[in-house]
Amino acid sequence: MVLVEGLEMQGEIISRWQLEKAWNTLSDKPLPKVKMLRLSDYDFDHVLEHRRCLEDDLREIEEWGRVLSKHGTDACIFNAEDIDDADYIILVRKNPYHSLEEIILHELAHIARGDL
């Protein structure tokens, strides 16, 4: 079980070494404080429904040419709260369409480019 926005959800923490390995291919800067959690598909969809905002929609349109359905979304990233002991939180669904390695690279690239 992991804690996401004060709610216990079924999930697991993705190891920091996996994030660092990917980050080192993207940037020479130190990896920011990033937490990545893999959630059950149900819990991931639940979080997406409650975190939807205009900025997310605009980023999806810019990146994918349309707003994605929650079922077509593998992961989401957002700025962490003070209580999270992290700068960014990345959530990924348990059964994604892309590999975990691809997802890690894609989401960390958002941080590296500073487009959050």
Q: Structure pTM? A: 0.81
CA-to-CA distance for 81 and 25, rounded, in angstroms? 27
Q: Distances from the Cα of 88 to the Cαs of 13, 33, 77, in angstroms?
A: 14, 7, 7
Q: Distances from the Cα of 95 to the Cαs of 18, 46, 84, in angstroms?
A: 18, 15, 25
- DSSP 3-state assignment of 33? coil
CA-to-CA distance for 6 and 68, rounded, in angstroms? 26
pLDDT of residue 53: 57
- The 10s digit of each residue's pLDDT in 13-33 is 999 999 999 999 999 999 999
Q: How confident is the model at residue 45 (pLDDT cuts 50, 70, 90)?
A: confident
Residue type, 16: R
- The 10s digit of each residue's pLDDT in 47-77 is 887 766 556 667 768 877 877 666 778 888 8
Q: What is the DSSP letter of 85?
A: T
pLDDT of residue 106: 92
Domain ranges of the chain: 2-113
